[in-house]
């Protein structure tokens, strides 16, 4: 259940992660690896031409006439994505999707050395395998008989009930524990669906909060830490769905502000800084620039750039065996995650609205901190602080080892170009956008080109 909940919490507009194998079933076997499937949402696979067209997606048509059973060729009939086109090979005047080129593309985006092993990308130590997969939303003709198959033959009702979040061997559990699991099973099973797209809706987020409320009655600290961590992730998504502006009067707008603040104050428990930076974004969008700067100075910078005394305290704390067993408190110190904005997020600065118009992106915490600081000082008309923040932003992008993936680097250069553009330095802004175009990253390259056209 925890693995499935984790999968749902980290889905985005580009892919859906699914943990499979024994680990995904909740079995931690000695010598076993972790199998992860990434289902990509920006590529649609179909058998015939009857589909709802979306110009933002890539469409692949299955051709199985001359192929061995169990295999198919994927004919690319439409794409506006250069990265998807680079994964295709030209055969007899047609472009066909290449499995090997698709895997090679993802080797460039990995944060650690990976090797290609069969259909998967595997770590050098063999700890886990990642499979990049595509999804067909309709049944293909070869599998059409599965629709009308008997569902009562296998698995039986008892097997399905015992494997859905409930222990198959119940004699090790008390009667009250089994009743509690039965009570929350229905709510959780309705929430966690195989399509994994439901958490984008406000109503489903509300249902997730309702389902997790019974966990508060349990006094186990591990369960409470899990609840706090999961609620923090949920509140991050929920706050970005609430509109900041409305035409229903000041009272409704004030209620929205209070709701957003409440959710943002609950979203600071899943890592060290990203929750605080989301709160800073809210204060920036509501023109409370001094509050935003105070949070950056007192809550963010001390975690991103701790002094020597704090570093020694962190090291001493992390070496304590009693603290090592407490995973979720350790995340608050050790993990500085990226700041993820959903599509059409209401909390992202107006200067970055173009970036999340069609897809969600994750900004590096260090880059986004200096960029927000620059924007606040710019609107407060503090030219000296503006230049200092711009200099820190440049140093972070050019020298930092925390910006690892091509997408993160491209987004960082876009932030730098926007900062130069606000100061009227169009030549430096153009150069920054050109540098962003050099990174092969899905969607970001097109945005950098649009930024360049706006300058010209």
pLDDT score for 378: 94
pTM metric for this prediction: 0.56
340-456: CATH architecture = Alpha Horseshoe (1.25)
> In 10 A of CB 300, how many CB atoms?
24
Cα 344 to Cα 436: distance, rounded to the nearest angstrom: 22
Confidence of residue 192 (pLDDT cuts 50, 70, 90): very low
pLDDT score for 170: 43
Chain segment 297-351, per-residue pLDDT in tens: 877 666 665 444 444 444 454 555 544 445 445 555 455 678 888 888 888 998 9
pLDDT score for 413: 92
Chain segment 19-57, per-residue pLDDT in tens: 776 665 555 556 667 788 888 888 888 887 666 778 788
Angle at which helices 444-455 and 406-422 cross, to 10°? 20
One-character DSSP codes across 82-94: HHHHHTEEEETTE
Burial of 14 (0-12, 13-18, 19+ CB in 10 A): middle
Q: Where are the domains of the chain?
A: 10-140, 155-267, 340-456
């Amino acid at each position: 259940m925890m693995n499935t909940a984790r999968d749902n919490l980290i889905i985005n507009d580009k892919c859906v992660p699914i943990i499979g194998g024994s680990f995904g079933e909740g079995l931690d076997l000695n010598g076993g690896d972790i199998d992860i499937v990434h289902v990509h949402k920006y590529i649609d696979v179909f058998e015939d031409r009857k589909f709802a067209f979306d110009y933002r997606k890539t469409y692949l048509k299955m051709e199985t006439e001359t192929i061995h059973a169990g295999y198919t060729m994927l004919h690319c009939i439409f794409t506006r994505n250069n990265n998807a086109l680079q994964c295709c090979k030209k055969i007899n005047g047609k472009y066909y999707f290449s499995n090997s080129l698709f895997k090679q593309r993802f080797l460039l985006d990995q944060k650690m050395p990976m090797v290609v092993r069969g259909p998967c990308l595997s770590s050098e130590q063999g700890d886990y395998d990642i499979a990049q997969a595509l999804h067909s939303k309709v049944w293909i003709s070869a599998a059409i008989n599965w629709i009308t198959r008997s569902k009562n033959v296998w698995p039986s009702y008892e097997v399905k009930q015992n494997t859905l979040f409930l222990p198959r061997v119940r004699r090790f559990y008390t009667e009250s524990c089994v009743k509690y699991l039965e009570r929350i099973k229905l709510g959780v099973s309705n929430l966690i669906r195989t399509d994994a797209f439901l958490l984008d809706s406000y109503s489903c987020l509300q249902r997730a909060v309702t389902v997790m409320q019974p966990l508060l009655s349990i006094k186990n600290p591990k369960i409470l830490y899990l609840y706090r961590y999961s609620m923090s992730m949920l509140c991050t998504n929920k706050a970005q769905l609430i509109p900041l502006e409305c035409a229903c009067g000041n009272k409704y707008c004030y209620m929205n502000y209070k709701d957003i603040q409440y959710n943002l104050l609950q979203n600071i428990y899943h890592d060290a800084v990203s929750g605080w930076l989301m709160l800073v974004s809210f204060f920036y969008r509501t023109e409370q620039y001094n509050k935003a700067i105070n949070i950056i100075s007192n809550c963010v910078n001390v975690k991103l750039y701790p002094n020597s005394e704090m570093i020694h305290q962190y090291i001493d704390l992390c070496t304590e065996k009693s603290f090592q067993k407490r995973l979720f408190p350790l995340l608050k110190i050790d993990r500085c995650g990226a700041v993820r904005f959903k599509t059409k997020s209401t909390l992202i600065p107006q200067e970055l609205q173009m970036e999340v118009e069609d897809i969600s992106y994750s900004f590096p915490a260090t880059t986004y901190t200096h960029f927000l600081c620059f924007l606040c000082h710019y609107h407060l008309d503090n030219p000296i602080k503006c230049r200092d923040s711009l200099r820190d932003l440049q140093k972070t992008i050019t020298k930092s080892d925390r910006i690892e993936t091509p997408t993160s680097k491209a987004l960082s250069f876009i932030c730098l170009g926007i900062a130069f553009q606000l100061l009227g330095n169009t030549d430096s802004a153009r150069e920054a956008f050109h540098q962003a175009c050099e990174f092969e990253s899905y969607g970001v390259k097109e945005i950098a080109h649009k930024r360049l056209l706006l300058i010209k």
